[in-house]
Each structure stands twice: as structure tokens, then as C-alpha cells.
Amino acid sequence: MLGSPFGLEELRACLAGIAPVELKGMGLLRAQPHLLAGTAPIPRSQLVEAVTEIVAYTGRCAAAARQLAQITPIPIRAVGIVEYVL
């Protein structure tokens, strides 16, 4: 095995270190959970901005997923994943 081992715990730590995306719409729901029932008086401009942001984020995620699906696998020989080493 060449290079430093990269196991499941290191991968988990790497992914856990990624900061979550803070969307305005999710912040509104956290602050006022009754928004789902449609009873909260929220300014239309604020609601439009939050929904537009969520729709744009969803589009970016879908585009990234399409791009990742088209990437040709590249063997990495310098990193050993200990879970798969015989």
C-alpha cells in the first residue's frame, strides 16, 4: 500500500467537516415552523427571495450531479483505502 491510508473514518471526518449550506427558506422554516400551514404573515418579497434561492440551489445540485455522473473514473494509486486492502 502506497501513501497514507484513507479509511472510512477519514472519509466520514472529511464529509462531516463540510459546512452546511444556509438557505434563507430553511432559516424561515426554523424560525417559524408554522409556515408550512400557510398561517404566518411573511412579506411577499422575502418569501419570493427564499423560494428563488431554494430553486436555484436545487438546480445547481442537479447540474453538479449530472457532471459527476459523466466523469470517467481515475484510479488513485497513491492512496490506500484500508477497508479494501487485502
% of the chain with per-residue pLDDT over 70: 71
Contact of 59 with 66, CB cutoff 8 Å: no
pLDDT of residue 1: 43
0.85 cut: is pTM over it?
no
pLDDT of residue 79: 67
The mean per-residue pLDDT over the stretch 53-67 comes to 94
C-alpha–C-alpha distance, residues 67 and 61, integer Å? 10
With bands split at pLDDT 50, 70 and 90, how would you rate the model's confidence at 31? confident
- Which residues, listed in sequence order, are joined to residue 80 by a DSSP beta bridge? 5
